[in-house]
Structure formats: C-alpha cells, structure tokens
A and B are shown apart, each in its own frame.
Chain A
C-alpha cells in the first residue's frame, strides 16, 4: 500500500506528512519539558537555604558537553544538505560524525559526570559542637574555620551572601570522598579498610552511593539500605574535595593517608593540584552522609530528572541515527531519495530540539 505524501507535499498543508507529524511531536515535547522546567522554577524558588547546591557543578564538563551537542547539531544539518545534493558518501560522513558527538555526550554524562557524583559525599553533623570539632581540626581549617567555611558556603549555595545565618553550623555540609573506613572487632579493637578507585579511574570509587542517616539507628527497614549499619562502620577517612576546600597547612599525624599515597586524584570539581589529607570522622559526629544521588536533596533530584530525561532523548536519537546508517536505509534511499532525505530532515528537527533543551539546561544547572 502506498502511503501518500511521504516524499511530496500535501496540497492543503504544503508539507509532507512526516514534517507535520514531527512538529506536532515537538509541540508535545515542549509541553513535557515545559512542565519539568516549571517544576524546576517552583522547587528552586521555594527551596530552603542550603538546599540548592549549584556551586558544586563542574562547569568545564557542562561547557564541553554543550559544545559537543552544538557540533552534532551542525553536522546533522550537513548530513541532510549532503542528501539534498545527492551525495550519499557526504551524508554518511556527517551522520557518523553526529553519532560520534552524540555518543561522546552520553559517555561523558553516564561514565564520568554521574558516577563522579555518586562517589562524592556531603556530611552534616549531629550538633554545632560536633561540626566545630571537624571544621576546626588543626589539619583541616583550623581556628579561623568560620571564614573559610563561609567562603565555601557562599560559592556553593548562596551567591548573594544572604543566607549564612539562616542555617545552623551542623547543617552546613562538608563535601569530599570516602577513602577508608573503620569497623570494630568483637575484642574492641579497630580494623581499617582502605577504599580505593574502581576500574583504575580516579573519578570512580568503590564507595559508590553509600548512605548513613542517624535516624536509621535502631530501625529494621532503614538499616538494610544504610551502609554504616550494614557494614558496622564506626568511623570514616574522609578526604575534603579538591578545589572546594583550602589545602591543609600540614600533614595529619594520625589519619591514614591513602589518598595521598595513591598520588591524589582529580574529582568532580575544579582541578587543583593541592592534595588533601583525609580526616577521621566518627559516626557519632555524623547526622547524615549522602552521595550526590537523587535522594540527596531536591536539587539533585531535579538535576537527575532534567539531565536524565534529556539523556534518554539523546539515546533515542542515536538509535534512530544508527538505523539510518544501516544497509536497509541505503535501500530506501536508492528506491526513493526524496523520501529518505525527508526522514533525515525530521530526525534533524528532533535532534535540534534535543540541542535546544540542553542550551537552556546548561545555564540553569551549571551556571546559575
């Protein structure tokens, strides 16, 4: 059966049917992303101080991925133009380039950016006194901890410097990486367990999405998903994140310097050459420990929803583009070049929409 107006324009609309279809689809996509964006606005405007952790996003990665998507948007137009000029080889070249750029975007997102967040932790403390114990450690921030903490706080949560007094010291998080932990044997002695990189990659750690919440103590159901309770952890070696916290003044006498022995590492955050020594933090000092997983806060729940939904669109686009490179697509092109060219045009329209969404996601998630 011949489907009409696949390669020629319909007299009443002036367009081939696929083009009408893709614009209707894009309209529904605008509504979908519009709902998510308006949810973002609502949650951000109503967020309590100390929730919207925009200052920790890696702007370099965000900018790199933006440039990749822009490049893919240009190459997909060039692929379509090649078909308009009846140049199959040119089409293949630009289409493959588009798939490579799109795949690179997902590789950066799913193998670096997200895992680095699942191995990056925030700790909040049981009381202001316990927080002072940790922050004022002579090998960490020392006596003038408040000034340094304030600087980090403003960069991370409070660009306009209005909210410092609204959040207790105990709720001002210390962020970093778990490089070891301690358990207690039956005879009362402690055992140290180093936690290292996974797969030999500095941004992957064996401490992936660990959790502790003091409210889980004594609970049966909560304890199952609580890493501290499950492993019997009594303390951790915690390395404050590079680029966020100032370098220590001198080496820590007691803590295991696992991170330093491994030569230090670059993490999700700005790259700084200064190495941190790990701090020993007792479970009794911690109120909550969470990686930057969706359950961490409203900010990260929103971040994963927005970037995850967008990444699924990128993934879907890659599948369609790969299909258009298969021999079966070549046969369609040879049978009806105009029809195939139209297919590539509507794929391109979808792809530009994916690019458009990212154009707005970049500033609202990484820069603001």
Chain B
C-alpha cells in the first residue's frame, strides 16, 4: 500500500519549488494568450474558433493545476482518490451529455417546429421545400 507524500525536505526545497514556479508561469502565459488572442482577433475569429481556443487553453491550465498544485500526479495511485474522481468525472460527462444531447433535437430560435409531424408527413413537406411546416396543409 503506497503511503501519502513521502518526499524529502530537499525535494520540497529544490525541485518542487521549481515546479510551482513553472506551473505558475504556464498559467499566466495561458491567461495572457487567451486574453490577447481574443482581444486582437475578436472580429476575425468565429464563435467556434474562439470556443476551441478559449476552452483548449483553459483545459491546459486546469490540467497543470490538477496534476501539480493538487498533487494528483503523485496521488492518483491512491484508489480512494482515483476512483472517487473517475466516478465524478463520469457523472459530470453524463450530466453535460444529457444537457447537450437534449439540445440536438430541440427547436432552436427561428427554426420550424416539426415536433408533431411524423414519418411521411415530414418527408413530403420538406422534400425540396424549405417553407415553414404547417401541419394542417399536410393532411
């Protein structure tokens, strides 16, 4: 059974302090990068590009915090922590999927509501015809 946190004082004095400064620098650089890119290229970037870039940088920063500041790089070997985290992450992904997944089929603002049109009705109405659906016309 591994035991928690058995680094030597020399490790804390030297390498670990260096790790803290390096991770701090990564976090600051990430913040400046996401701010600068958004500030300078706000008009050129599409929402999707900004989303991928902004959240990509956030994920890198979050990984650095979790692995080094939260010691998960060393503590992941403890099943109490890793299993707790794994089940939480699964729960989180499931919850986000439920939300995002439920949005896939929902009627967006400005779209036609075809919820009550089924099968052939839906096909006939929209085959080469982009006009708004009217259920009374398809009877």
- Chain A interface (Cβ within 8 Å of chain B)? 9, 11-16, 19-20, 23-24, 27, 30-31, 34-35, 37-39, 41-42, 45-49, 59, 62-63, 66-67, 70-71, 73-74, 77-78, 81, 84-85, 155, 159-160, 166, 348-349, 352-353, 355-356, 359-360, 362-364, 367-368
Number of A-B residue pairs with CB-CB distance less than 8 Å in the complex they form? 159
Residue of chain A at shortest CB distance from B54: A363
Q: Which 7 A-B pairs have the closest CB atoms?
A: A363-B54, A38-B99, A27-B88, A74-B24, A63-B35, A70-B27, A34-B92
Majority-rule SS of A interface residues: helix
Measured in the bound complex, the distance between the Cα atoms of B54 and A16 in whole Å is: 37
Instruction: Indicate whether A14 sits within 8 Å of B35 (C-beta atoms), given known contacts A159-B47, A352-B65.
Output: no
**Does A77 contact B50, Cβ atoms closer than 8 Å?**
no
**Does B92 contact A85, Cβ atoms closer than 8 Å?**
no
Please pick, from A12, A27, A59, the residue contacting B35 in the complex, using a CB distance under 8 A: A59
Contacts of B70 in A (CB 8 A): 349, 352-353
Contacts of A355 in B (CB 8 A): 65, 69
B57: interface (CB < 8 Å): yes
B28: interface (CB < 8 Å): yes
9 contacts between A and B (CB under 8 A): A27-B85, A34-B96, A78-B17, A84-B7, A85-B13, A352-B65, A364-B54, A367-B54, A368-B47
**Does A77 contact B69, Cβ atoms closer than 8 Å?**
yes
Contacts of A49 in B (CB 8 A): 109-110
Majority-rule SS of B interface residues: helix
Measured in the bound complex, the distance between the Cα atoms of B65 and A231 in whole Å is: 52
**Does A13 contact B78, Cβ atoms closer than 8 Å?**
yes
Contacts of A46 in B (CB 8 A): 103, 106, 108-109
**Does A15 contact B80, Cβ atoms closer than 8 Å?**
yes
Near A by CB (< 8 A), chain B positions 56-101 give: 57-58, 61-62, 65-66, 69-70, 75, 78-81, 84-85, 87-89, 91-92, 95-96, 98-100
B116: interface (CB < 8 Å): no
Instruction: Indicate whether A9 sits within 8 Å of B20 (C-beta atoms), given known contacts A67-B31, A160-B47, A360-B62.
Output: no
Contacts of A349 in B (CB 8 A): 70
Please pick, from B20, B32, B34, B92, the residue contacting A367 in the complex, using a CB distance under 8 A: B34
Measured in the bound complex, the distance between the Cα atoms of B106 and A30 in whole Å is: 27
**Does A73 contact B98, Cβ atoms closer than 8 Å?**
no
Please pick, from A41, A166, A348, the residue contacting B100 in the complex, using a CB distance under 8 A: A41
Contacts of A84 in B (CB 8 A): 7, 9, 12
**Does B1 contact A14, Cβ atoms closer than 8 Å?**
yes
Contacts of B79 in A (CB 8 A): 13
B46: interface (CB < 8 Å): yes
With A46-B109, A159-B46 known, 10 other A-B pairs at CB within 8 A are A14-B3, A15-B75, A34-B96, A70-B24, A74-B23, A74-B24, A74-B69, A81-B12, A159-B47, A367-B38
Please pick, from B20, B87, B100, the residue contacting A74 in the complex, using a CB distance under 8 A: B20
Instruction: Indicate whether A15 sits within 8 Å of B78 (C-beta atoms), given known contacts A31-B91, A368-B54.
Output: yes
**Does B106 contact A73, Cβ atoms closer than 8 Å?**
no
**Does A81 contact B99, Cβ atoms closer than 8 Å?**
no
**Does B109 contact A159, Cβ atoms closer than 8 Å?**
no
Contacts of A11 in B (CB 8 A): 1
Q: Considering residues A16, A23, A367, which has the most beta carbons from chain B within 10 angstroms of its beta carbon?
A: A367
**Does B85 contact A23, Cβ atoms closer than 8 Å?**
yes
